[in-house]
Structure formats: C-alpha cells, structure tokens
C-alpha cells in the first residue's frame, strides 16, 4: 500500500530512523572545518568535509568545550550524534566534542604547497611587483557584476575621470577560477590597471582565488594588478601574486586613483609655483639688467683710466735721458733769460738808489702830476713809503 | 584608449615640466610668458576634467574563447 507523506511526516520519519540507528550515535568523525559561524547565540555552525563530501555540524553553546580556537581549515575529530533538522530536512551532526586532528586540513596543505611552488618560481618576488600608474586612464575590474565589492570600487573611483571596464567573473563556486582567468584575458591590452576584488566570505567562498590558474592569470596580466579579496584578514594566493594587495575593495579603489581633493590642491600649488617662477624670473632679469648697467659704467671708467695710465707710461718712456738733457738746457736758458730780464727790470734801477713815485692817478713823472696835500707812494728797492706833499715849486 | 585632447596624465606631466622650466628661469622673457600661458591653460584643462569626472563604464560580454570552453 502506498503511503502519502506530508513533508513534516517524511522528515519525522527520517529523524526517527536516524535516532534509532545506534551506529549514528556517540560516533567520531574526522574532517576539515569550513564555513564556521560563531553565532551570537553562542552556538557554532560549521561544515565538516573531506575531499568528496561534507556534512553540516552544530556545536551548541555549553556543549563540548573545544579547548582550542576552532577555525576554518582545521582538521578535527568530532564526537556526537547524527540528527535530522526537521524544518529543513537537513541531516546534521550534533557535535558534543571536538578535538584537533594532527596536521592541517587537506586544502590548507594544498594552499601551502601551491604557495611554495609559485614562490619558488619567483611569482611573489618583490622586484616583480609593478608600480601602479600615477594617473590611470582605463581601469579594469574583475569581479561579480552584482557584488557589493563592485559598488564599493565604483563609489570611490567615481570622483576621478577614468574609463572603467568591468569584466564580469564568477567569484565563488564551481568554475569561478576559470571565469576569473577569462575575465583577465578579456581585459588584455585594454587597461593600464586591473582591480580583482570580491567581498567577504567563507574560506570556502574565497577558495577560487587560491587556484594556480588564477595566480598565473594575475602574473600574466599586461598591467599592474591590485587584489582585494575578502576581508583584511583573508589572504589568498591571488594576494601574493598581485602587484599590490588591498585589505578591502574600497581600499583597492583608493590605491588605484589619485585623491581628487589632493589633485585639486596640487593644481593650486603648481599654479602658484608657476606665477612665482615667472615673477622671480622677471625680478632676476631686472636685477641682471641693473647689474649690467652698473657694470657698464664702471667698465667704461676703468677703461679710460687704463688708457690714460698707459699713455702716461708711454710718454714717460719717451722722456728718455736725451729729453731730460733738453729739459736741462731749457732750464739754463730760462735762467739766463731770467737774469737778462732782471737787468732791464725797473727793480734793478731801484737797487741803484732810484725810486719810483706814484699817485692815485699813476706814475709821477713831474711836479705837474702832483697837488699839495696829496699822498704819494714811493717805491724803493727794499720797500715802499707813503708821503704827503707839503708844497710844490717849479 | 582614444582621446583627442590631452589626458589628465599628460596634462599634469606637461604642467609639472613647465613649472620646473619656469623655476629654472633660464629662458627669455618671451619664452617664459608663452610657457606661463600654456601652463595656465593646462591648469584650467585639468581642473575642468577633474570637475567633470567624466566616466565611461562598460561591461564586457562575450563568448568564451575556445580553449576555455567546457
């Protein structure tokens, strides 16, 4: 007879079967922790997985103290019971105890192995990191077109004049790695900077950024790449290969374009420097002109002085001994002429006892030139006398 | 990347070069003035392009290249 279950009945039945199976109780299971959520309620939810399969786990508050910090990627042994969560028909492990298994999870081992391999190839070398363009013209963005990361990037880049090419990619789940590679390929030769970004998510969600093909796509990109995958604490292989790692998509955008406020301030200062340079150029020219002016008059004067002194030297040379003799003879001639002049001078006559008499009207040559009472000047060889005329006769 | 006029980068590069030329002060007055005028023009152009913040956003759609097709 065919029974028709309601969904609730079906889930109840599954739950009953699970509860009834002793092998599904007080069991140990080993696997890797992922998608760990520390809920506000104090309960912890995570997925336990191995290479092929996964199962949801719940660790209720107060149940099984772990004694260590449960984290994604850890390999653990859990102790508990299999249960069916009826509202969702979900089979899950109610965990009552967790123990850290030896070693890291498989994925972590893969991660470390790839990291080591790529590092050995030199893909992470600091000298391989390319400098970002100061003023990018065309920025490529590899991300999900629906993600918050894209909106964050566009919000920041929005104040700067730049061309943007969005190259859509799946950023989680199956095919994400290939999709990211394709998105990089599509930007080839078209941009001078690429931002590859994704918002926060579980280690599982971000896993596609740990693939070798994505690492190579970033390394092969023909322009610098900024990676911003997940939150600040998430580090992926993509971050190691990228030329620059940004903690968040918003930070990536800030690194990608210059701050327009700063640029505007730079422009003002450039303008100021230009005006100052022009003015100081003018002042320098003026000073130079003044200097030349001064220099010119000084030089002219010095030139004249030098010319005169040369002429003096020249003349001095020409005044040889012969010339000096001639000067000597001139002097002798001068002396003899002087003495001859002396013999005809009135002074010579006076020295012989004669005297000269002068009135106000001039030389007195006779009595008629003089009136009584007048003062006369009598010149003698050795001096003068002034005499008054008492009387005159003749 | 087609652009008829100077990109912001070129304009800023030119502007910086002009300022340092002017600051060297080795040019004639006429040259200085001509450069200064050009510089002012560039400042204006940069400012304008910053104010406009013109963006062209495009989204790539396309087929997978053969080697990436499943």
d(CA B64, CA B70): 9
Which residues of A lie inside 8 Å of B (Cβ-Cβ)? 133-135, 137-138, 145, 154, 157-168, 178, 181-183, 185-187, 190, 260, 263-264, 267, 270-271, 273-275, 277-278, 280-282, 284-285
Residue B58 lies in a domain: no
Residue B28 placed within a domain: yes
Q: A5 by DSSP, 3-state: which?
A: coil
Out of B56, B59, B61, whose CB is closest to A163?
B56
Of B22, B50, B60, the CB nearest to A274: B22
Partnered with residue A139 across adjacent β-strands are: A164, A193
Render the burial of A74-90: b for 16+ CB within 10 Å, e for the rest: bbbebebebbbeeeeee
Q: Contact A135/B7, CB-based, under 8 Å?
A: yes
Q: Can you give the residue range of the structural domain that contains B2? A: 1-53
Contact: A135, B60; criterion CB under 8 Å: no
ipTM over 0.85: no
Is B2 a domain residue?
Answer: yes
Cβ contact A257:A226 at 8 Å: no
Residue B40 lies in a domain: yes
At residue B1 the predicted structure's pLDDT band, cuts being 50, 70 and 90, is: very low
Q: Which residues of A touch B12 (CB under 8 A)?
A: 135
**pLDDT band for position B4 (50/70/90)?**
very low
User: Is B63 inside any structural domain?
Assistant: no
DSSP collapsed to 3 states, A308-372? HHHHHHHHHHHCCHHHHHHHHHHHHHHHHHHHHHHHHCHHHHHHCCCCEEEECCEECCCHHHCCC
Answer whether residue B67 is part of any domain: no
Residues of B in contact with A277 (CB under 8 A): 19, 22-23, 25
pLDDT digit string, tens, across residues A348-357: 777 778 888 8
pLDDT of residue A168: 94
Distance from CA of B11 to the nearest CA of A (A): 11
Q: Is the pTM of this model over 0.80?
A: no
Of the candidates B19, B53, B59, which has its C-beta nearest A270's C-beta? Answer: B19
Q: Is residue B60 part of a domain?
A: no
Pairwise pLDDT comparison (B13 vs B53), residue with the higher score: B13
Task: Determine the Cα–Cα distance for residues A158 and A152; give it in Å rounded to an integer.
Answer: 10
- Whether B68 maps to a domain, the answer reads no
Give me the number of domains chain B comprises: 1
pLDDT tens, position by position, B41-62: 888 888 888 877 666 788 887 5
Low-confidence ranges of chain A (pLDDT < 70): 1, 64-66, 102-106, 315-316, 318-324, 341-344
Quickly tell me which residue has 């690429």 as its tokens.
A194
């Amino acid at each position: 007879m065919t029974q028709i279950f309601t969904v609730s009945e079906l889930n109840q039945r599954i739950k009953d079967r699970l509860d009834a199976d002793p092998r599904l109780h007080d069991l140990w299971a080993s696997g890797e922790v992922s998608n760990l959520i520390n809920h506000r309620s104090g309960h912890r939810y995570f997925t336990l997985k191995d290479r092929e399969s996964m199962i949801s786990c719940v660790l209720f508050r107060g149940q099984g103290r772990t004694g260590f910090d449960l984290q994604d990627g850890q390999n653990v042994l859990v102790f508990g019971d299999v249960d069916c969560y009826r509202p969702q028909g979900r089979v899950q492990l109610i965990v009552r105890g967790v123990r850290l298994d030896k070693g890291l999870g498989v994925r972590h081992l893969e991660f470390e192995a790839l990291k080591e391999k790529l590092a050995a190839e030199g893909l992470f070398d600091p000298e391989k990191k390319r400098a970002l363009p100061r003023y990018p013209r065309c920025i490529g963005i590899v991300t999900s077109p629906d993600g918050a990361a894209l909106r964050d990037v566009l919000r920041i880049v929005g104040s700067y004049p730049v061309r943007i090419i969005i190259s859509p990619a799946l950023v989680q789940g199956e095919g994400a790695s290939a999709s990211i590679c394709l998105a990089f390929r599509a930007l080839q030769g078209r941009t001078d900077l690429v931002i590859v970004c994704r918002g926060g998510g579980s280690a599982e969600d971000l896993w596609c950024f740990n693939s070798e093909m994505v690492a190579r796509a970033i390394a092969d990109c023909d322009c610098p790449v900024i990676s911003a995958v997940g939150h600040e604490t998430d580090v992926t292989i993509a971050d190691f290969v990228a030329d620059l790692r940004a903690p968040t998509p918003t930070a990536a955008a800030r690194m990608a374009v210059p701050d327009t406020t700063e640029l505007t301030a730079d422009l003002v200062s450039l303008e100021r420097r230009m005006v100052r340079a022009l003015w100081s150029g003018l002042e320098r020219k003026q000073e130079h002109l003044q200097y030349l002016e001064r220099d010119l008059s000084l030089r002219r004067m010095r030139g004249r002085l030098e010319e005169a002194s040369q002429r003096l030297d020249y003349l001095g040379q020409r005044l040889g001994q012969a010339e000096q003799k001639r000067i000597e003879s001139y002097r002798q001639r001068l002396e003899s002429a002087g003495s001859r002049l002396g013999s005809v001078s009135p002074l010579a006559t006076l020295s012989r006892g004669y005297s000269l008499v002068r009135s106000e009207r001039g030389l007195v040559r006779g009595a008629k030139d003089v009136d009584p009472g007048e003062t006369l000047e009598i010149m003698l060889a050795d001096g003068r006398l002034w005499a008054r005329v008492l009387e005159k006769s003749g | 990347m087609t652009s008829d006029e100077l990109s912001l980068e070129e304009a800023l590069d030119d502007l910086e070069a002009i300022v340092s030329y002017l600051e060297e002060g080795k040019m004639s007055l006429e040259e200085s003035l001509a450069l200064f005028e050009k510089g002012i023009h560039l400042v204006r152009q940069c400012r304008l392009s910053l104010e406009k913040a013109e963006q062209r956003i495009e989204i790539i759609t396309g087929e997978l290249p053969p080697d990436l097709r499943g």
